[in-house]
């Protein structure tokens, strides 16, 4: 497995391809009342789309591939053109006339930049990976996201639990390392949909809410502070659920990784001034992209996590998910410009 994986190069990202329509509003309205749209932007959305765009803008020195389904419409063409512009291979990004391209209206409040999402699942709900032959795609890593937001892949499978888990098993069998991300939702579906996939995952990259929901721990105390003991327990539980190599959990205060052999790594985030933050959409995917960059290149975990928090910081400078991303050297320089927060474990 190791030699087959090491002869591979690049990242294949599959799952949700979404166009985000971000609207900055003066206030989030109560029902039957009005809010003013101050400005609006169009940009990338969904785990694979955000991750490959972030990696392209970071200047990742390896091939990028997309897999999924878009509609035969203007948004679908927007995604395909954007990928072409950033040299992302779209041969596995198929077009369907059966559903519209998925989109999200993101309402971002001026004060505090809190976001509310109105989402159209569209073509993403139909994607089942049909025709995706992992033996013919030479990527080293297959990143799948978001579990819980891919209707066809979240469906049951008699052998693997879910069709998404079956897809990940197929990628591993072909010699790829696998990575997953999960959407944050308030539901009881995590154990049913996410847990079966973890048996076929090498790199599990989640935020603290998703990790807690999947592992059964409350990682935030009632006062909102991070419970680092619960965080460690959740990472350990995810490894016990089957993750092969490393669990990485990210949160506004930083990132934490635990490896299969029990090595723990903490990385505080950057102490950004409030005026720096234009919007929080895409920050988690930016962290994921930075971490995957390091995992692909075989960096020490500390450097991978630092790249993750710096990439997240770059993302926060723009209201859209990926327009704030810059080349790797520029992104890492943010750690020198802004001091790091205190280490979360202290």
**Tens of pLDDT, residues 213-230:** 999 999 999 999 999 999
Indicate if the pLDDT at residue 1 is higher than 50.
Answer: no
What was the pLDDT predicted at 3?
Answer: 39
In a domain, 263, yes or no: yes
- The Cα 215–Cα 72 span in angstroms is 39
Q: How far is CA 56 from the centre of its chain?
A: 15
In a domain, 92, yes or no: no
CB 70 within 8 A of CB 100: no
β-strands 161-162, 88-96: how paired?
Answer: unpaired
Neighbours of 138 (CB within 10 A): 15
DSSP codes joined into one string, 53-116? HHHHHHT-SS-EEEEEEEESSHHHHHHHHHHHHTTEEEEEEEEESSSPPEEEEEEEETTTT-EE
CB 309 within 8 A of CB 287: yes
In a domain, 13, yes or no: no
What was the pLDDT predicted at 299?
Answer: 98
How many separate domains does the chain show? 1
**Tens of pLDDT, residues 5-19:** 568 999 999 999 999
Place of tokens 């930049």: 113
- Spatial neighbors of 316 by CB under 8 A, at least 6 apart, are 272, 276, 277, 278, 279, 280, 283, 324
Alpha helices in the chain (DSSP H): 2-6, 47-58, 74-85, 151-154, 163-173, 195-198, 208-215, 228-240, 283-297, 301-315, 328-337
List the structure tokens of 179: 């990575």
Mean pLDDT, residues 330-337: 97
What was the pLDDT predicted at 2?
Answer: 41
In a domain, 33, yes or no: no
Indicate if the pLDDT at residue 346 is higher than 90.
Answer: no
CB 246 within 8 A of CB 257: yes
List the structure tokens of 342: 């205190």
CB 162 within 8 A of CB 154: yes
What was the pLDDT predicted at 114?
Answer: 81
Mean pLDDT, residues 76-103: 97
In a domain, 238, yes or no: yes
Full domain range(s) for residue 194: 2-7+47-66+135-337
**Tens of pLDDT, residues 237-294:** 999 999 999 999 999 999 999 999 999 999 999 999 988 988 788 999 999 999 999 9
Give the CATH number of the domain where residue 60 resides.
3.40.1190.20
Q: Report the chain's mean pLDDT, rounded to a whole number.
A: 94
**Tens of pLDDT, residues 106-163:** 898 988 778 888 999 999 999 999 989 999 999 999 999 999 999 999 999 999 999 9
Closest by Cα among 158, 161, 133 to 147: 161
- The Cα 86–Cα 233 span in angstroms is 39
Closest by Cα among 9, 120, 2 to 60: 9
Give the pLDDT band of residue 343 (cuts 50, 70, 90): confident
CB 67 within 8 A of CB 12: yes
Give the pLDDT band of residue 4 (cuts 50, 70, 90): very low
What was the pLDDT predicted at 115?
Answer: 81
Give the pLDDT band of residue 313 (cuts 50, 70, 90): very high
Indicate if the pLDDT at residue 41 is higher than 90.
Answer: no
End-to-end alpha-carbon separation of the chain, Å?
A: 39
In a domain, 155, yes or no: yes
Give the pLDDT band of residue 187 (cuts 50, 70, 90): confident
In a domain, 27, yes or no: no
């Amino acid at each position: 497995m190791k030699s087959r994986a090491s002869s591979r190069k690049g990242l294949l990202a599959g799952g949700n391809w979404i166009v985000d329509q971000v609207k900055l509003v003066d206030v989030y309205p109560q029902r039957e009342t009005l809010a003013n749209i101050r400005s609006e932007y169009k940009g990338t959305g969904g785990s694979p789309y955000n991750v490959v765009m972030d990696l392209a803008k970071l200047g990742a020195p390896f091939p990028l591939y997309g897999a999924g389904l878009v509609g035969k419409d203007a948004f679908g063409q927007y995604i395909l053109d954007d990928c072409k512009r950033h040299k992302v291979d779209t041969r596995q990004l198929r077009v369907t006339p059966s559903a519209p391209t998925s989109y999200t209206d993101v309402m971002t409040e001026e004060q505090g930049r809190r976001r509310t999402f109105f989402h159209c699942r569209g073509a993403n709900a139909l994607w089942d990976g049909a025709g995706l032959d992992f033996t013919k795609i030479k990527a080293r890593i297959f990143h799948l996201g978001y579990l819980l937001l891919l209707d066809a892949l979240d469906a049951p499978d008699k052998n693997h639990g879910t069709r998404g888990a079956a897809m990940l098993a197929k990628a591993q069998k072909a010699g790829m390392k696998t990575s997953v991300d999960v959407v944050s939702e308030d539901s009881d579906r995590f154990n049913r949909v996410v847990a079966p996939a973890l048996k076929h995952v090498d790199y599990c990259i989640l935020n603290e809410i998703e990790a807690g929901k999947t592992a059964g721990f409350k990682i935030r105390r009632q006062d909102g502070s991070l419970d680092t003991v619960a965080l460690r327990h959740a990472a350990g539980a995810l490894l016990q659920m089957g993750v092969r190599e490393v669990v990485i959990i990210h949160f506004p205060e930083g990132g934490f990784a635990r490896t299969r052999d029990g090595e723990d790594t903490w990385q505080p985030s950057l102490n950004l001034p409030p005026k720096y933050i234009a919007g929080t959409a895409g920050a988690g995917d930016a962290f994921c992209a930075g971490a995957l960059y390091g995992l692909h290149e075989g960096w020490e975990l500390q450097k991978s996590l630092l790249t993750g928090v710096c990439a997240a910081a770059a993302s926060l400078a723009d209201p859209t998910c990926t327009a704030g991303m810059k080349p790797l050297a520029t992104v890492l320089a943010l750690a020198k410009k802004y001091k790091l927060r205190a280490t979360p474990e202290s």
